[in-house]
Amino acid sequence: MPDQTTDRSALRGDCAQCFGLCCVALPFAASADFALDKPAGKPCPNLRGDHRCGIHADLRTKGFTGCTVYDCFGAGQKVSQITFGGQDWRTGPGENARRMSDVFPVVRQLHELLWYLTEALGLDAAEPVHADLRRALERTERLTRQTPEELLALDVAAHRQEVNVLLLRTSELTRAGVTGGKGKKGRAKDRRGADLMGARLRGVDLRGASLRGAYLIAADLTGADLRGADMIGADLRDADLTDADLTGAFFLTQPQLNAARGSAGTRLPRSVTRPVHWAAAG
């Protein structure tokens, strides 16, 4: 198994090794993000017999934008190949479909934590808590390898809270060294959970800011300076990141970026890639 303190390849979705679990386990309702209703545990009508999406290249144009901003962080292949030993829910025991649908969201939460913990271990400023982070990562990885019954009995919320204490400390240590606002280190505003929906933040200096859980839906962040900002859980749906600078921003995930708008001039951390639809929009 790759060393997860440095390698996040196992924390990226690999549809070829998954039985289309996100297309089965998760519910969605007809809305701007989904063209129809689907209850949890029922396969999406676009799911083919080989567990691949029949409209993957046209999800946005066919009304399934919500699918393009989702990432299982590698939980799909973990549940398919390890938790259930490669038993396809279509051909395996009859109860597998229900059990996989129940277990998948649990493992997905654990894999998201693995993503954040691994990133935290790569932040030099967080060195004082690296030992604790490593222990938390190892324990979380062990939890993902439990039996279906053990996973369903797991108090995921309690484990998330334990990990969050470390991630908060990581954020404090990392942002303390970022010069922002009026040129002072560690003085950037704490905007955790702030309601910034539709806010005009064009060109605003947000260096080293905490935007944990902030609502930035449809916010104008054109040319904003987000270097060294904590982006964990920030809602970037339809936010305009054109020419914004997110260099060094941490705890930023691909689904967050995929939900936003941006340009060729948007500067990104190396942990994420420029969404394809940004180029199309440009």
Instruction: Please tell me the predicted confidence (pLDDT) of residue 280.
Output: 56
The owner of tokens 């390890």 is: 82
Phi/psi of residue 18, nearest 5 degrees: -120, 155
Strand-pairing partners, residue 250, are: 230
On the question of pLDDT at 10 being above 90, the answer is no
Instruction: Please tell me the predicted confidence (pLDDT) of residue 188.
Output: 59
Q: Please give the span between the terminal C-alpha atoms of the chain, in angstroms, as a whole number.
A: 40
For the segment 152-173, the average pLDDT, to the nearest whole number, is: 97
Cα distances from 82 to residues 2, 68, 73, 104, 146, in angstroms, run 15, 25, 15, 12, 9
Statement: the pTM of the whole predicted model exceeds 0.85: yes
Computed over every residue of the chain, the mean pLDDT equals 91
Give the model confidence (pLDDT) of 86-118 as tens digits.
999 888 777 888 999 999 999 999 999 999 999
Q: From CA 167, how far away is CA 63, in angstroms rounded?
A: 35
DSSP string, 121-158: HT-GGGGGGHHHHHHHHHHHHHHHTS-HHHHHH--HHH
On the question of pLDDT at 184 being above 80, the answer is no
